[in-house]
Amino acid sequence: MQAQSKSHSTVIKVYTVLQGLFKMAYLADLIDRNPMDKVQRPRPRKDEVKTQEAKAYTAEEIRHIWSCLSQEPLKWRAMIRLLIDTGIRRGECCGLQWKDVDFAKNTITICGNLCYTPDKGIYLDTPKNGRSRTIDVDPQIIALLRELRLEQSRKAISQYVFTQEGSHEPIHPQSPARYLQNFARKYGVQGLHPHKLRHSFASIAITNGADIASVSEKLGHTDKAVTLRMYTHADQESIRRASQIFRDAIKEA
């Protein structure tokens, strides 16, 4: 399952279920031994360990990334701004198709997730939670997408928004992470990774008053507790604001 890029939490759930089923079968004398006794608890993949350790950027740090992006190619400006503004997953962004972009309403519909495994290569799957969702996008990013569509039409027309250079094939799902590593070295940005931008969206939105349900829906979480775990950054300003909100509530009462 890990070879298929399934998350560590999913692998652990399957491991736990199998462990319980075989234990029940062993206790019921249906099998003479529990094969799970010799199966070690799965460890996170190396890339997942980094993701778990990642913290969110502050609003000031995001603004710095934005300013640096102005010097980058159009495709990457549009993609990274989209990742930052919406908190969508890297594979969802790579799997975005032009039919999913509503230029009139400034929205995109997430209905695919571009994946890669050594066995299958690049393939389009359903979103992680199995359902599509439509989310709003900053008009400035929609303008970048318009510009990108025009640029793409001069080179190689594709159904995908983000493509390999000079090709109609979709961009490799691992390309954004590689690009951001080079971007980080070039501009001195620490720990830059697509998932950290996702954490940053959740953290900054919630810190500044967005409700958990709305943020959770935009991120595509089925469990709001997952959204809360992403909310890792609480700066001194947000702590001060929380105290002030409490005091104001008491005074009104």
Domains and CATH numbers, the chain: 2-49 (no CATH), 74-184 (1.10.443.10)
* Regions of the chain with pLDDT less than 70: 1-6, 45-54, 230-246, 252-253
Query: Which residues are CB-contacts of 5 (< 8 A; sequence separation ≥ 6)?
Result: 115, 116, 117
Structure letter (DSSP) for residue 42:
P
Dihedrals φ, ψ of 177, to 5°?
Answer: -65, -40
Structure tokens at 231: 């909310």
Structure tokens at 44: 């996170």
Distance CA 122, CA 102 (A): 26
Q: What is the pLDDT of residues 8-21, one digit of tens each?
A: 777 888 888 888 88
Using DSSP, state whether 108 is helix, strand or coil. strand
Contact 122, 170 (CB under 8 A): yes
Using DSSP, state whether 166 is helix, strand or coil. coil
- pTM exceeds 0.85: no
